[in-house]
Amino acid sequence: MLTYAGISIKKTEVRTASNGIVDQWIFLDQKDRKGRKFKRYSNWFIGRNTNKIALFIDFRVG
Q: HEC string of the chain?
A: CCCCCCCCCCHHHHHHHCCCCCCCEEEEEEEEEECCCEEEEEEEEEECCCCCEEEEEEEEEC
What is the percentage of the chain residues whose pLDDT exceeds 70? Answer: 76
Residue 1 covered by a domain: no
pTM beyond 0.95, yes or no: no
3 lies in a domain? no
Has residue 6 been placed in a domain? no
Classify residue 25: in a domain, yes or no.
Answer: yes
pLDDT band at 18 (very low <50, low <70, confident <90, very high): low
Res. 2 pLDDT band, cuts 50 70 90: low
Host domain of residue 52: 21-61
Q: How confident is the model at residue 38 (pLDDT cuts 50, 70, 90)?
A: confident
Is residue 49 in a domain? yes
Rounded average pLDDT over 10-39: 84
Say if residue 5's pLDDT is above 70: no
Task: Specify if 54 maps to a domain.
Answer: yes
Domain count, the chain: 1
